[in-house]
């Protein structure tokens, strides 16, 4: 048997709580963009936002297009490096389009700040930000989150797309990783 301490995940947000909130976010987005007259572009940040984005887009009753962006800022560490590198770019132009950046979690806000600036340089018609989670105490510089799921304490969380060393993304809930004795 390995002497490594086992990790347990304490539930912070249940599957049902997340489903209810995502449904509300979908309604909010539907209402805000009801008169758009053209498809909205949802841009998910790989890989953490994939589960959230796939539920969110089905809660929006409007035509949407999906785009993905790969960024690397964390590696397997649990603290933000502050360095954001684009590892996969968009597949179509966003100039003149209405876009929503969809993030799993805003921690220091460095990733979102970098991406919003990057997107704005392509002159979209409008840019909005949607995040499932935010750790309010940590934000470096003001990031306006137009559509927010939950504010959470400053703990490292996993599940519903969020990983620890590549694992736990498939948990249906969001939880805090703890070491069991
Ligand atoms: P920020 O640039 O806002 O500090 O970090 C944003 C990115 O860091 C998120 O998209 C996510 O990949 C990662 N991150 C920040 N906090 C957590 C956390 O509690 N759990 C996990 N799994 N990733 C996090």
Q: Please state, in angstroms and rounded to a whole number, the distance separating the CA atoms of residues 88 and 94.
A: 15
Question: What is the CA(41)–ligand 1 centre distance, in A?
Answer: 23
Q: Which of 162, 163, 167, 168 to mutate to test the pocket of ligand 1 (most atoms within 8 A of CB)?
A: 162
In b/e form, how buried is each residue of 33-53, taking b as 16+ CB within 10 angstroms? Answer: beeeeeebbbbbbbebbbbbb
pLDDT tens-place string over residues 71-93 = 886 544 555 656 688 899 999 99
Nearest atom of ligand 1 to the alpha carbon of 111:
2
- The residues facing 15 across adjacent strands are none
User: Which atom from ligand 1 is nearest to the alpha carbon of 168?
Assistant: 22
Q: Is-contact 100 115, C-beta < 8 A? A: no
For residue 143, pLDDT over 90 is answered with no
Q: Atom of ligand 1 at shortest distance to CA of 103?
A: 10
Q: Which residues contact 142 (CB under 8 A, 6 or more apart)?
A: none
**Candidates 35, 89, 104, 107; catalytic one:** 107
Q: How far is the CA of 105 from the centre of ligand 1 (A)?
A: 6
What are the structural domains of the chain?
15-154 (3.40.50.2020)
Which residues of 14-97 form beta strands (DSSP E)? 40-46, 64-72, 85-88
* Choice from 107, 110, 174 to test ligand 1 binding pocket (greatest atom count within 8 A of CB): 107
CB of residue 49 inside a 6 A radius of ligand 1: no
- What is the pLDDT of the chain when averaged over all its residues? 90
Rounded distance between C-alpha atoms, residue 56 and residue 132, angstroms: 10
Would you call 107 a catalytic residue per the annotation?
yes
pLDDT at 1 > cutoff 50: no
**pLDDT computed for residue 79 by the predictor:** 58
CB 96 within 8 A of CB 111: no
CA 155 to centroid of ligand 1, rounded, Å: 11
Give mean pLDDT, residues 107-133: 94
Ramachandran category for residue 147: left, alpha or beta (phi over 0 → left; psi -120 to 50 → alpha):
beta
Q: How far is the CA of 26 from the centre of ligand 1 (A)?
A: 22
C-alpha 4/C-alpha 179 separation (Å) is 10
Give me the pLDDT at residue 145, please.
Answer: 95
User: pTM score, two decimals?
Assistant: 0.92
């Amino acid at each position: 048997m390995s002497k490594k301490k086992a990790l347990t995940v304490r539930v912070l947000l249940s599957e049902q709580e997340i489903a209810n909130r995502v449904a509300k976010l979908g309604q909010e987005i539907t209402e805000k963009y009801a008169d758009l007259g053209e498809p909205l572009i949802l841009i998910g940040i790989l890989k953490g936002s994939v589960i959230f984005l796939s539920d969110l887009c089905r809660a929006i009753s409007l035509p949407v297009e999906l785009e993905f962006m790969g960024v690397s800022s964390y590696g397997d560490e649990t603290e933000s490096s502050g360095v954001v590198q684009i590892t996969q770019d968009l597949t179509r132009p966003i100039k003149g389009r209405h876009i929503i950046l969809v993030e799993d979690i805003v921690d220091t806000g460095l990733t979102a700040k970098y991406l919003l600036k990057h997107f704005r340089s392509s002159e979209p018609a409008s840019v909005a930000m949607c995040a499932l989670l935010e750790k309010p105490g940590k934000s470096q510089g003001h990031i306006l989150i137009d559509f927010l799921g939950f504010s959470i304490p400053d703990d490292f969380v996993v599940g519903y797309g969020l990983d620890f060393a590549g694992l736990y993304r498939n948990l249906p809930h969001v939880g805090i990783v703890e070491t069991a004795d």
